[in-house]
Amino acid sequence: MHTNTRLAHVLLTSAALCLSVASTLDAVPTANLADFGALPGSEHDSAPAFAKAIAWLAQNPGGTLTIPEGVFHLKTNPAATLTSGNKSDAHLNFDHLKNITLAGQSPRSEIVFGQFAPGLLFENCDGLTLRNLTFDYAFLLFSQGRVLEINDGTPESSLLLQADPGYPPPATQPGTIFGRARSTWLTLHRNGMNLAYPEALDAVNATPTQTFPDGTVRFYYRNQKNVSKRLAGDPAEPLRYTRPSRYAGQLIRLRNCNDVLLDTLRIHAASGFTVLGSTCRNVTVRNCLIAPRPGTDRVIATCADGLHFIGGQGKYLVENNTFDSLQDDNVNIILRGNTIDAQPCPDTLVLTPGSVRHYAAGDTVRLADIENNRHSDYTITRVETLPGARHTLTLDRPVTGKIVFASALQQSPLLRQPAVVHNRSWAFGDVTIRGNKFLNNRARGVRITGSGVTVENNTFDLSAFPAILIHSIIRDVKDDEYNAFAERVIIRDNIIKRAINNGGASGNGGAITIEVLDAYRNVPRGFYPFRDIAITGNRIENPGRAGIAATNVNGLVIEDNIITNPNRLRSPRPSARAGIYLNDVENVRVENNRVTGDGFDAPVYREPLPPLPAAGGATTATTPATPAEFIPTLRYDLVNASASSLKQTGAPWTREAGAFTSPPDGFQLSYPDQYSALKTFTLNATFLISGASADGGGGAGLAIGNHYGQTLSGWSVMCYPAQKQLVLERRLPEGRTQRLATASLEPADTWRLEVAVDGNAREWTVRVNGVEKLRLRAPGRAVYAYSGPCSFNAAARFTAFGIVGGDSYKPVIALGDSITHHIRWTEIVSEKTGLAIGNAGMASDDTAGALARIDSDVIKLRPRFAVVFIGTNDGNRNQAESNIGTILDRLGKAGIQPILCTLLPRKDKPINETINEFLRTLAARHQTPLVDWHDALQGPPGELTARYASGTVHPNDAGAERMAEIFIDTPALQPVFQALK
C-alpha cells in the first residue's frame, strides 16, 4: 500500500471514530425497565426494578425510561423521605429529577398498583414527560350495587344497599377517602343517569353504616332532603349506587414541577385524584383517556377528580382528552386562599391553617374585605412558615381598612364574612381547555377559580352538577377550602347535553354556572368576585335547570348561545324556569341567544332589585308624581291614562289618541363628538287586576309596541315577589306588538320594567327627584327601569328615548358563523381600510340559520354589500348549497351585492371541499366577487397552516391578520373598495 493511501485510511478511520464518539455523547440516555429486572405478570413484583430505574434517571438527566409491553405490578411501596423533608408513601417517588421521560413501548405497556397508596409522586421535577402508558389498581377501590330501600325525609335519612358480586361492601372502612372517619361520597343513578349525591360530610353527627348478616348495609346521611322525590327517570329501571370504599391517595401527584407533559395515558382507576398538581408551571395534558376499564362492569373510573390543579403559572393546556364516569369533578383549575387569624403589626398578617397554599417573598397577594366590598393588593416582603400549615406574611405597607378575623365566624357565623387572602402570583393566567369529551360526570366537567381560563370546543354529556362551574368559596364549614375569585374567563363554542343539576349538594342554577358557594349564603349585594366573563356560542341541550346562571359578576357577556329545553326537572323556581338566570350582575350584555322548549317561562330571568328605600329607611313601593319631572335634553315620562294634562317644558310634545309621542327626529341631543338624533319606543303596560283586560280576557296583561325605528335588543318585566317574573325577549321587531298574560299579579305586588337597545358604554343618567330613572348609553344604548305598584286598574304609558349614532351605518355586513363573530378579521379590515363592516356572525350557525335571520341581521340594515361566509357547520351538502343560493337570491332582490368566501380547511368536514367548488362555480357563473381563503390558509391537506391555527377549526390572531390581508388584496374586491370611498 502506498504511503499516501495508508495516511488517507488512517485519517478516515479517525474521523469515523470521532463521529461515533460524538454521536454517543449527544444521544439521549435511554434504558428499558426490563434492564433492571422487571417482569410482566401478577406473580412478579416490579417495584424493586422501578426503584433501580429511578436511581438511574437521577444519574442520567434527560434520560428516557421505556416500559415494555406487558402488565407490570407494583406490590410494595417502601416509604421515602424526599429532599424537601416531606414524607411519601407513594409507590414510585421522583425527587428533583430533570428532563426525564417515562414512555410505554406500546398501548399495552401497563403499570398496576397493589397497595393502598398514591401511585407516582413527582416533587421539584423540571422537564417531565409521561407518554403512552396505562394505569390501574390491582383491587377494586369502590363499592357498587343496588339500592333496596330509601328512608327519606327524616332528620337522619338512610339507604339500604347491597353490593354487586365481587365488589366490597359500602360499609365505612378505616382510612377512607379524604381521611374522614365516616366516608360517604355516594352517588345514585338509574341506567347511567346521575340523580342524587348524598355526601353526608357532617360525619360527626351521622350514624356510622350498619352491616347486616345478609351482607346488606344501611347507609346514613344528614345533609340531603327528599332524595326520593328527585330521582328522575324510569321507575322500572333499578336504582343503583356507587361509593368509594378505601383511600389510596392520588394516582399522579405533581408538586412544584415545571414543563410537564402527560400524553396518551390510559387511566382506569384512582381512589383520589387522577392528577393533583400544585404550584406547577407550564403543564400540558393531551390525548389521555380516563375511563372504566373496557370489558369490566365498573361504573366509575376514579373515586374523586380527574385533573385538579391548585395554583399555577405559565401555560396550561388540557386538550383532546376523554373523561368518562368519574366520581367527582373532571378538571379543576383552583386557587385557594386563607382567612386571617391575627394582625400583630400593621403590615403583618397571621393566616389561618390551610393545605396546598404557597406564599413567597415578591408574590402579590389580594386581601378581600368581603363585608365592605373592597379589595387591595400587596407585595410580600417576608414569609414565615409555622407548624400546622400556617403562614405569617409581612407586606410592603400597612394594611388599610378593618379586617374581619376568622374568630368572628365562631362568634357570629350567620352575620359575618371573613377577610380572605389569595396569592395572585399563582392565579394561573393562561389556561386552555379545548377539544375534550366529558361524559357521565357524577359532579362537574370543569370547575374554575383563577384568571385567564378559556374553555372551548368541548363536548359535555350528562353531568349531575353544572357542566361548567365558575365559583368562589368564601367560607366552607367542612374544611379549609377558601377558593379565590375568577376573572378573564371565556367559555365558547361548547356542546353541553344533559347537565342535570340534581346533585343534592349543589345550588347551581345552570348548565353553565357562575356563583359564590358560601356556607351561609349571605354574600353582600354588590360583591363581585367574578369579573370579565364571556359565555358565547355554546349549544346547551336539555339542562335540568337553566341553561346559563350567573350571580355576583361585574363584566359579563352572554351572546350567541343556543339553549334547548331548559328546566328538564320542571323546577318551580324562577331561576330554573328560564334559559338564562341573572342575579346581582353589573356591566352585562345578553344578546342574540336562542332559547326554545316548553319548560321555561322566560328566555332570561333577572332577579329583581330590592325595593327602593323610603324616607326613614323603611322599604316600600311608592307611586311617583304625575306628571314626572322633565330633565333637560332627556325626557322621562310616566303617564297614567287618567291624566288630563302634562306640563309642557323644553321641547314641545303633542298628545295623539290619548297617548304622548316623541319630538320629531330632527330634535338633537348635544354630544361633543357625535351627532345623535332622538328616536322613540313606546311601551303600553296595562294591568287590570280586578277587571277584564283590554282584549276581553280576564286578569292582568302587558302589551309592548315598538316604534323605535329598528329592532329592540331586549326588554323585560320583573315583579315582586321574585316568582312573578314575567318575561324577557331578545328581539321585538319594528312595528310589532307583543302581549303577555300577567294573571298572577296582585294589587299589593310591585313591578319593574327594563328595556335595552344595542350600543356601547358611554352613558348619561336621568334622575327624577334624585332617584335614577333612566340611563342612556351612547351611541345607541338605552336602559329604562321603573319600579311601582300594580294596584291601578288602568293603562300606563312609558316613553323613553334612545340615542342613535349618525355614523352607525355599515355599508358592508359580514354574514357568517363563529369565525366571523369571534375572529377579528372584520375589525382588521376596517382598521386598515377605514371601511365600516358590520359583524353579523353567529357562533355555531349554519346556512339554514343564516337564511332564517338574513332579513333582520342584513337586509333590514340596508348595506350595499354583504359578505357571505357560511357553511362550515353544515352536515348536508345539497341543503347547504340550496340555502346559499336562496341567500344570494334574497340579497339580489334587496339590491345588495353579495361577496362570496370559500370555507377554511377542515379535515373532519370533507363536504366543505365540495361546497367550496360550488362557491367557485357560482361566483364565476354570476360574476360575483369571491375571496378564496381556503387555498391561501391551507397547510397539510384539509388542515389550517399551523402558524394560523387555533385548534382544527378556528384561526388564531395571525390567521385573522392573514384573512384580512387576503380580503383586502382580492382583485375582485378592488372595485368595491373604490365604490365605497
Distance of CA 222 to the CA centre of its chain: 31
Integer Cα distance of 126 and 256 in angstroms: 9
Question: Residue 330 in 3-state DSSP?
Answer: coil
pLDDT top residue among 977 and 919: 919
Would strands 336-345 and 420-423 be described as parallel, antiparallel, or unpaired?
A: antiparallel
Lowest mean pLDDT among 180-184, 337-341, 507-511, 803-807: 803-807
Residues 205 and 283 in one domain: no
797 φ, ψ to 5°? -110, 135
Assigned domain for 857 exists: yes
Distance of CA 801 to the CA centre of its chain: 36
For residue 764, pLDDT beyond 70 = no
Q: Give the SS3 label for residue 382.
A: strand
Check residues 70 and 618 and name the one with the higher pLDDT. Answer: 70
Q: What is the pLDDT of residues 208-244, one digit of tens each?
A: 778 899 999 888 776 555 566 555 556 667 888 888 8
In whole angstroms, what is the distance from residue 847 CA to residue 901 CA? 13
What are the residue ranges of helices labelled H in 804-907?
Answer: 818-821, 825-833, 847-852, 854-857, 877-893
In terms of C-beta density within 10 A (0-12 exposed, 13-18 middle, 19 or more buried), how is residue 411 classed? exposed
* Secondary structure of residue 13 in the 3-state scheme: helix
**Are both 434 and 418 inside the same structural domain?**
no
Domain containing residue 821: CATH number = 3.40.50.1110
Q: Which one is predicted more confidently, 777 or 451?
A: 451
pLDDT at residue 561, rounded to an integer: 94
Instruction: Let me know if residue 18 belongs to a domain.
Output: no
Q: 828 vs 952, which has greater pLDDT? A: 828
Q: What is the dihedral of CA 703, 708, 714, 718, to 10 degrees?
A: -40
Q: Is residue 101 part of a domain?
A: yes
Does one domain contain both 717 and 799?
yes
Of 353-362, 769-778, 858-867, 869-878, the range with the lowest mean pLDDT is 769-778
Task: Give me 777's grid cell.
Answer: 348609553
Closest C-alpha to 352, from 307, 419, 442: 419
Nearest in space to 250 (alpha carbons), one of 306, 334, 288, 292: 306
Q: What is the DSSP letter of 724?
A: G
CB contact at 8 A, 489 and 532: yes
Same structural domain, 211 and 264: no
Q: Provide the grid cell at 277.
A: 398538581
Lowest mean pLDDT among 483-497, 626-640, 746-760, 966-980: 626-640
In a domain, 111, yes or no: yes
Other Cβ atoms less than 10 A from the Cβ of 315: the count is 16
Among 613, 793, 601, 767, smallest CA distance to 688 is for 793
Q: Tell me: the pLDDT tens digits for 633-656?
A: 222 222 222 222 222 222 222 222
Q: What is the rounded distance in angstroms from the CA atom of residue 477 to the CA atom of residue 454?
A: 30
Residue type at 858? V
Q: Count the domains in the chain.
A: 6
- Is residue 869 over pLDDT 90? yes
Alpha-carbon distance 617 to 614, whole Å? 6
Those residues with Cβ within 8 angstroms of residue 631's Cβ, 6 or more apart along the chain or in another chain: 766, 767, 768
CB 64 within 8 A of CB 103: yes
Q: Which three cell numbers stand for residue 151?
A: 328512608
Beta bridge partner(s), residue 280? 312
* Among candidate residues 343, 338, 333, the one with its CA nearest the CA of residue 305: 333
Residues 410 and 437 in one domain: no
Instruction: Give the cell for residue 326.
Output: 368519574
Q: What is the CATH number of the domain that holds 111?
A: 2.160.20.10
Q: Is the pLDDT of residue 816 over 70?
A: yes
Cis peptide before 779 (omega within 30 of 0): yes
Nearest to 908 by CA among 885, 886, 941: 941
Cα–Cα distances in angstroms (integers) from residue 594 to residues 819, 873, 875, 911, 922, in the given order: 19, 17, 21, 27, 32
Q: Which amino acid is at 121?
A: L
Residues 438 and 534 in one domain: yes
Sign of torsion, CA 166 172 175 180? Answer: positive
**What is the spatial distance between Cα 7 and Cα 5, in angstroms, rounded to a whole number?**
5
Contact present, 816 and 843 (Cβ < 8 Å) = no
Residue 71 forms beta bridges with which residues?
A: 110
- The predicted-structure confidence for 745-763, as pLDDT tens digits, reads as follows 444 444 444 443 333 333 3
Above pLDDT 70, what percent of the chain?
A: 67
Q: Please report, for residues 97, 99, 260, 868, 870, the alpha-carbon distance to residue 128 in angstroms, rounded to integers and kept in the order given.
A: 8, 6, 5, 47, 43
Q: Are 781 and 757 in contact (CB under 8 A)?
A: yes
587 lies in the same domain as 438 = yes
Q: Is residue 546 pLDDT above 80, yes or no?
A: yes
CB 227 within 8 A of CB 196: yes
Q: In Å, what is the CA distance from 296 to each residue of 41, 272, 627?
A: 19, 20, 76
When mean pLDDT is compared across 97-111, 276-290, 534-548, 908-922, the lowest value belongs to: 908-922
User: What pLDDT is stored for residue 608 in this prediction?
Assistant: 63
Q: Residue 150: which of 233, 230, 243, 236 has the closest Cα? A: 230
Other Cβ atoms closer than 10 A to 245 = 23
Whether 95 maps to a domain, the answer reads yes
- Cα–Cα distance between 340 and 337 in angstroms, integer? 10
Boundary (domain end) residue, out of 805, 840, 855: 805
**Phi, psi of 23, deg, nearest 5:** -65, -40
For residue 751, is it within any domain?
yes
Listed as own residue / partner, the contacts of 54-57 with beta carbons closer than 8 Å and 24 or more positions apart are 54/92, 54/93, 54/94, 54/97, 56/31, 57/94, 57/97, 57/100
Any bridge partners for residue 944, and if so which? 938
Per residue in 129-182, pLDDT (tens digit) is 999 999 999 999 888 999 898 877 566 678 889 999 999 888 765 444 444 444
Task: Assess whether 499 and 555 both reside in one domain.
Answer: yes
Q: In what order do the strands lie in the sheet with 750-756?
A: 727-729, 714-720, 750-756, 781-789, 771-778, 762-768
Reduced to 3 states, what is the DSSP secondary structure of residue 828?
Answer: helix
* 566-606 pLDDT, tens digit each: 988 777 777 788 899 998 888 888 888 999 988 787 788 88
Q: SS3 of 131, please?
A: strand
Residue 533 included in any domain = yes
pLDDT at 599: 78
Q: Which residue has the cell 323613553?
A: 800
The predicted pLDDT at position 981 comes to: 66
Per-residue confidence band for 205, with pLDDT thresholds at 50, 70 and 90: low
Maximal C-alpha separation, the chain? 128
Sign of the torsion formed by the C-alpha atoms of 134, 139, 141 and 144: positive
Q: Where are the beta strands (DSSP E) in 458-503?
A: 459-463, 468-475, 482-483, 486-492, 495-499
6-37 pLDDT, tens digit per residue, is: 433 433 344 343 333 333 445 789 999 999 99
> pLDDT by residue (tens digit) across 32-65?
999 999 999 999 999 999 999 999 999 999 999 9
Of 513 and 231, the one with more pLDDT? 513
For the beta carbon of residue 11, count every other beta carbon within 10 angstroms.
10
Residue type, position 257, single letter: C
Q: CA 721 to CA 718: how far, in whole Å? A: 9
652-698 pLDDT per residue, tens = 222 222 222 233 333 333 322 222 222 333 333 333 333 333 333 33
More confident residue, 502 or 397: 397
C-alpha to C-alpha distance for 556 and 586, rounded to whole angstroms? 7
State how far the alpha carbon of 919 is from the alpha carbons of 420, 898, 899, in Å. Answer: 58, 12, 11
Contacting residues for 944 by C-beta, under 8 A, at least 6 apart: 904, 905, 937, 938, 952, 955, 959
The Cα angle at residue 905 between residues 904 and 908, in degrees rounded to 5: 120
What is the average pLDDT across 780-785? Answer: 32
Considering the domain architecture, whether residues 192 and 95 belong to the same structural domain is answered as no
Q: Is residue 593 domain-shared with residue 662, that is, in the same domain?
A: no
One-letter amino acid for residue 937 of the chain: L
Question: 861 and 776: one domain?
Answer: no
Task: Give yes or no: residues 800 and 858 share one domain.
Answer: no
Strand partners, 80: 88
CATH code for position 203: 2.40.30
- The mean of the pLDDT values for the chain is 73
Q: Which of 127-131, 280-284, 750-754, 975-979 has the lowest mean pLDDT?
A: 750-754
Assess if residue 614 is contained within a domain: no
pLDDT for 193 equals 61
Provide the domain limits for residue 348: 336-425
Residue showing cell 367560607: 475
Asked which of 212, 244, 276 is the last residue of a domain, the reply is 244
Neighbour tally for 408: CB within 10 Å? 17
CATH number reported for the structural domain that contains residue 399 in this entry: 2.40.10
Read off the pLDDT of each residue in 497-510 and give the average, rounded to a whole number.
Answer: 69
Choose one of 244, 268, 284: the last residue of a domain.
244
**Residue pair 494/473 in contact by the 8 Å Cβ criterion:** no
d(CA 78, CA 74): 11
CA distance 515 to 577: 18
